[in-house]
Structure 1
Amino acid sequence: MARIAEDLLLLLLDNGAAQPGLEPGRLQPLLAGAVLLDLAYDCRVRPALPDEPVPADRLVVLTGPPPLDPVVRPALALLQEAPMTAGVAISKLRKHTEDRVLDQLLRTGQIHQISLSHNRIRRNSYAWPLASRTRVDRVRAALLAALFDGQRPDPVTAAIVSLLHAVQGLGAVLSLNDRGWQWVVNQASEIASGTWVDDEKMADVNLAVTTAAVRAALA
């Protein structure tokens, strides 16, 4: 399941317009990076280790069963072709990842699609209102707890905060005064540094080191 990518997009759709709160130039690479982190949290990709015959900045595929999720499957297939940097992977995935995540949320009944325009030349525009607030409320509560209450974030929440912080996108999901923003930026920076990681959990460690590579590519 592409939980990081799905939770992230649900947060970005949670507004009065029911449209992503980021422009395509930031949204598309952000979601592509999120899919890479979904694979990392599932321990299917990671940055190359120093003793491997691959440059250290390349993402490599780890063995495991074929993913069933239609969002992450193309990303894994791409990385199976050859090790590549997070930046190259994001550039190759960014064009279609948003549509894949939207399609999956539609197929699973988590959002609706409303057409806002019909144009035979330009791409039609849509709104995607949430079918239920249960999941997005849970995601937002975890985000706020990590940023304002000092709670240790779960890995998915930490990944979402780190990604949004990398593209200066927290403003798309939060509305704060200047003092509040300074607090949030400081907390997000700390989370992005990996202070949340449980070193005894391989999935946490793998997600954290891959997040660092993805953040560098998004910056």
Structure 2
Amino acid sequence: MARIAEDLYLLLLDNASAQPGLERARRERVLSAAVLLDLAHACWIRPAVDGEAVEAGRLIALAAPGGTDPVSEPAFQLLQRRPLAPATAVKRLAKHTEGHVVGHLERTGQIRRVPLPGKRFGQHFAWPLTNRDRVGHARAALMAALFDRTPPPPATAAIISLLHAADGLGALLSLNDRGWRWVHARAGEIALGSWVDEYPTALPEVNLAVTASAVRQALR
């Protein structure tokens, strides 16, 4: 399951309008980066390192032990063709990733499509959540990590890292200046990988943190 990308999109939808926060261009890039991090956490991709035949930092596909999911499969197929720089991968995935995420969430009954009155052209829909349990858990984990310094689960750490890099936390939070100073400092720590030392980790978490460090540069 594309846990990171799906949780991120549900968090962006969790508002009165039931439409995703962040303007389209940033949203498409952040969701594309999230799908790459889902693949990294599954150990299906990783950045190349010095000494390999591939240029260091490029994302390379690994031998997947099982099938991917409908959301992350296009990204995995893209990197199977050849290794790509994170910025290139994000750019190539940006056009269609949101559609894959929305389609999967709708098919699995987690959101529903509601046409907006008077809108005939373009994507003019609201996407109310059918159940708030999942987004509630995701939001609680995010708030605990940012404000209580609770060690974040991997998906939460990835979401914070991506939104921090894209200056997108404002789509989820409304704070005064003091609150933002706290959040930016804490999110910066998490984005730099501090969560790996706070959370019980194994190879998937380490690979996620290393890949996040490479991918978030593409969002700046």
Q: Unpaired segments of 5 or more residues in structure 1?
A: none
What fraction of aligned residue pairs are identical, expressed as a percent? Answer: 57
Alpha-carbon distance in structure 2 between the residues aligned to 1:53 and 1:200? 28
The aligned residue for residue 32 of structure 2 is 32
Once the two structures are superposed, residues 27-63 of structure 1 have per-residue CA deviations (whole angstroms, 9 ceiling, x without a partner) of 0000000000000000000100212101002101111
Alpha-carbon distance in structure 2 between the residues aligned to 1:70 and 1:93? 14
Alpha-carbon distance in structure 2 between the residues aligned to 1:50 and 1:90? 22
Once the two structures are superposed, residues 131-159 of structure 1 have per-residue CA deviations (whole angstroms, 9 ceiling, x without a partner) of 01100000000000000001111111000
Superposed structure 1 runs of 4+ greater than 4 Å apart: none
Aligned-residue offset at 1:65: 3.2
The aligned residue for residue 210 of structure 1 is 211
Aligned-residue offset at 1:118: 4.2
Q: Partner amino acid for 1:187?
A: R
The aligned residue for residue 171 of structure 2 is 172
Distance 1:138 1:83, change over 3 A: same
Q: Size of the alignment, in residue pairs?
A: 217
3-state SS, counterpart of residue 197 of structure 1: helix
Q: Partner amino acid for 1:109?
A: G
Q: Unpaired segments of 5 or more residues in structure 2?
A: none
Alpha-carbon distance in structure 2 between the residues aligned to 1:138 and 1:170? 17
3-state SS, counterpart of residue 159 of structure 2: helix
TM-score where L is the length of structure 1: 0.96
The aligned residue for residue 70 of structure 2 is 70
Q: What RMSD, in angstroms, separates the aligned Cα atoms of the two structures?
A: 1.2
TM-score where L is the length of structure 2: 0.96
The aligned residue for residue 103 of structure 2 is 103
